[in-house]
Amino acid sequence: MSLATILIWLLQLALIIHVLKTGRSRYWVIILLFMPMIGGAAYLVIELLPEFSGSITGQRAARSVRQTLNPGAELRQHEAAWTQSPNVDNSRRYAEALLDADQSEEAENIINQALKGLFSTEPTLLLLKARIQFEDDRTSEAVATLESLQEHNPDFRSAQGHLLYARSLEAEDKTDDAIREYSAVSGYFPGVEARYRLALCLQTAGRDKAASSELESILNDAKLAPPHFRKSQKKWLDAVKRELG
């Protein structure tokens, strides 16, 4: 057995141990055992990359990989759990699985069933509902849902939710409000996307100098960042460079 083969299997073993220790779905164990190189790469991309891949675009890419590797498995698993116990967590997971399967109407129906009584303002469910509304181009509804979330859960904090709110405001042509929210979320968002979208929104508002300054600042900050950050943010950094010409 070659050294390369030994190293590959040691990596697979480490990933399997990580799956078991962190409580991730056990189907990863099967994938890692029977698809050592492809499975390992998929696990790294979907599960272990930093939260930068938590953006809506990143989530879509991750969903695509999961569906290719094991189509329908997560949906069946979460449907069974929800059928047995339709609590908040199971409802959220089932709705996410439905959304992964491009069944947004069914996903929203599950969420609405869970948003009742004591859980009528549950923040993670409201955030998922707003995400569905945004992806369905119902941006005014997304704004209302996210504002209700914040009103009833003032201590709830989500970088992705905050960015979604800014994007929804921008889609509703509330440019000044969107700039304010983009500026706020850019201060703690784990990646380049929020600052990039802020720059584009500034351009829309006719503030070209401020937009160019923000884009240049993004690139200057990236030069000082670790290599893994620049690699993980390549898509957004390339977009920044295109905007600057």
Cα–Cα distance between 74 and 109 in angstroms, integer? 18
Chain segment 164-208, per-residue pLDDT in tens: 999 999 999 999 999 999 999 999 999 999 999 999 999 999 999
Q: Summarize the confidence of residues 208-228 as an average pLDDT.
A: 95
User: pTM above 0.85?
Assistant: no
What are 234-240's contacts with CB under 8 Å, separation 24+?
Answer: 235/57, 236/191, 236/192, 236/193, 236/196, 237/192, 239/196, 240/192, 240/196, 240/199, 240/215
- Kindly report the average pLDDT of the chain as a whole number: 88
Lowest mean pLDDT among 41-55, 91-105, 191-205: 41-55
Which has the higher per-residue pLDDT, 133 or 24?
Answer: 133
